[in-house]
A and B are shown apart, each in its own frame.
Chain A
Amino acid sequence: MNRNIISLVVLTVTLVAVCSAAATTHANWLNEEVTRSIDLTSQLAKQTVDIKAKNTASTAASSYTFALHSSTEHASLQAFIDGDSQQLEIIKSSAKTHNQQTYNLYDVQLRKTVGAGSIVGMGQQHPYPTHVGQISNQLVTFKENTYFSSPYDTVSQKTTLKLASSKIENHSTLTPSIVKGSSIVYGPYKDIAPLSYHQLSVHFENNSPFVMLNSLTKEYEVSHWGNVAVETNYAVEHRGAALKGSFSRFDYQRQQHASPAHVAEIVERVPLGAADFYYRDYIGNISTSQYFHHADRLDFKITPRFPLFGGWKNEFYTGYNLPSSSVLFVDDKSGRYVLNATFGVGIADIYAVHHQLIVVLPEGASDIQVSAPFQFTREDSLRKTFLDTVGRPVIVLRRDWTSIEQTQTLQISYSMAAFSILHEPLLAIGAVFTLCVMFMVGSRLDFSLIRKGPKIARAPEVDKLAQQFFALFESRLQYHIEIEQALQDLSRSGSSTAYQTSKQAIESRYKDAAAINKLIQSISTIDPVFSARLKDLSDQDTQITQIQSQIADLEKQKSSKSKYMTTYRKSYDDATYSLDQIFN
């Protein structure tokens, strides 16, 4: 709460200071000769004002104040000293009401007494009638102050209006005023008091493109690998007289120049060295575009898929790549990186209501500073794109109501460690290495489905006997397979005599059962634990034989044997498994 009160007090004091400063400087100047020319050939009202003023005070003045009548609501201002290309700083001071007319005051920080300035009024010409047909001409109205709005006395002043055509419906008069073709000259007027007002209004034909940008977003994506990618998003609106009735493609194709106020193409100015142009619709359609070389720039001409008529809107984006050598530098003293970016509308005779510049710096950039010769708002954020970990620093600069006349270069400087450039390749290398490590780990793991028992160390003589046992038991398993075959034959033929004969034949070939028992006996004297396990195995073998004879009996009686079949399968599998367990 306390804090609020303090800041409020400070603010009031500052305001008073500004007001008193303005009050003291007002009377100092005398405008000796003011020549104003207002160019209304495009949708913008471009005023060039040449002011010859004299400081009548005894002390040197540091600023010159000029006023803009409230009819010029949105304007971009520039001020120069005669013969000097460097712009002067303009500070908006306050609004002043005089004889029911409101004026916005601006202070120009000066060094000399002779000045010139330009004012670009945006959205100051209004279509009237507001709706016209497809092949009708567009008429607009323009209102301003006939006098040069100035808080000082003016000795002599003259205003020339340059119109887009000589078709003038009507215009206000204030003697002396004269119409010469497409120009109207007001003045010269002598000895005009400060902030005098007389309304100037013209109603004339203006078929120049009345296109404005509701929003203009220009994005610089900086890469230290030699590229700065520039992408511009446009939200265009034709703010001229709205199209009356429906659009006829037939009429349009037959006579394109019969629709004077429409916009079929837009030319964007692009710096030299730009390459890899693209132009896409908001929904991704690629449309026609061409570029032309000039000595100092490239012109990138884009033809949207449909022409723009009054009230119509279009959204699209264009882009190109700039080599980093043309815009990215290193300050040789501080070692900081500096990006030269252009802030402003790249299209002639158009203005942007909301303009923002987005600069995406490489990952690792820090201590970002913007130096610009104008006022802007700044916002910082982070963006993650390809191969980013913490995200790239993004700065967004905003400025409203701007036109090509205000296009200015600003510098964005930042510090970055030299090895940060290797961040992305190292990430790619790391990804492949991780893959290799996963492969190494994977090939060390065992994914086989059979569980292997622990290997038991055995005495060499036991091992020899065990080898014999293994061979014998394998032949026992083979014996069981053959008996099983005979059982299947029995089940098919039903002949028990045939079964008996084949069983005897098989038994005569395999006479191992007794040998197995003998082997177990001899092993038990050396390694009783191992022989016990072999005994179990041999018991399983006997069990299998028993089940086989039971199945044979059932087969002879022609009764169901399914219960025994499952028991048989299980004991056979158990026996083979146990054998694997013992001998692997």
Chain B
Amino acid sequence: MVTLFNRIIMYSPVDPSLYPFFAFLFLVVGFAFLASFIVYEISAGSGKSKRNIVQEVLHALVASCTLGMGGFFVLLASGIYL
């Protein structure tokens, strides 16, 4: 039984009023990185010599982290609490 005396109030890890801001921020950064990733992929062509797998994966990781978080915050900001 949890009473007034032995409880810790549960707050969100991020203040819910900041969700739209984070959604916007992460999406803008995310799309920028995704664009640069796609530009890299296309400009490197199919010639293997010009490609650098580390570069590609780094681009993809940053793009997916920011874009994934952006999409997640869009859902939270629009009222779909996950």
* Chain A residues within 8 Å of B, Cβ to Cβ: 221, 223-227, 229, 276, 321, 323-325, 328-333, 337-338, 340, 371, 386-387, 411, 413, 421, 424-426, 428-433, 435-437, 439-440, 443-444, 446
The 0/1 profile, CB within 8 Å of A marked 1, for residues 28-70 of chain B is: 0010001001100110101010000000100111011101110
7 contacts between A and B (CB under 8 A): A224-B13, A225-B12, A226-B16, A328-B10, A386-B75, A432-B64, A435-B64
Using A330-B7, A432-B63 as known contacts, list a sample of 18 further A-B pairs with CB atoms less than 8 Å apart, ordered by residue number in A: A224-B12, A225-B12, A225-B13, A226-B16, A276-B79, A328-B9, A329-B9, A331-B6, A338-B7, A371-B1, A425-B68, A428-B68, A428-B69, A429-B65, A429-B68, A432-B30, A435-B64, A444-B48
CA distance A329 to B37 in the complex (A): 43
Name the residue of chain B whose CB is nearest to the CB of A331: B2
Enumerate chain B residues within 8 angstroms of A413, measured Cβ to Cβ. Answer: 2
Enumerate chain A residues within 8 angstroms of B16, measured Cβ to Cβ. Answer: 225-227, 323
* Chain B residues within 8 Å of A, Cβ to Cβ: 1-2, 6-16, 30, 34, 37-38, 41-42, 44, 46, 48, 56, 59-61, 63-65, 67-69, 71-72, 75-76, 79-82
Enumerate chain B residues within 8 angstroms of A324, measured Cβ to Cβ. Answer: 10-12
**B79 in contact with A329 (CB, 8 Å):** no
Instruction: Identify A433's interface contact among B7, B11, B64, CB under 8 A.
Output: B64
Q: Chain A nearest CB: distance from B3 CB in Å?
A: 10
**A386 in contact with B80 (CB, 8 Å):** yes
Tally of A-B Cβ pairs under 8 angstroms: 118
Name the residue of chain B whose CB is nearest to the CB of A337: B10
**A386 in contact with B82 (CB, 8 Å):** yes
Name the residue of chain B whose CB is nearest to the CB of A434: B64
**B64 in contact with A330 (CB, 8 Å):** no
Enumerate chain A residues within 8 angstroms of B67, measured Cβ to Cβ. Answer: 429, 432
Instruction: Tell me which of B38, B41, B48, B68 has the highest count of chain A C-beta atoms within 10 A of its own C-beta.
Output: B68
CA distance A192 to B81 in the complex (A): 61
Enumerate chain A residues within 8 angstroms of B38, measured Cβ to Cβ. Answer: 439
**B14 in contact with A225 (CB, 8 Å):** yes
**A433 in contact with B10 (CB, 8 Å):** no
**A429 in contact with B76 (CB, 8 Å):** no
Q: Chain A nearest CB: distance from B14 CB in Å?
A: 7
Whether A338 touches B14, Cβ cut-off 8 Å, given contacts A225-B76, A225-B82, A428-B68, is no
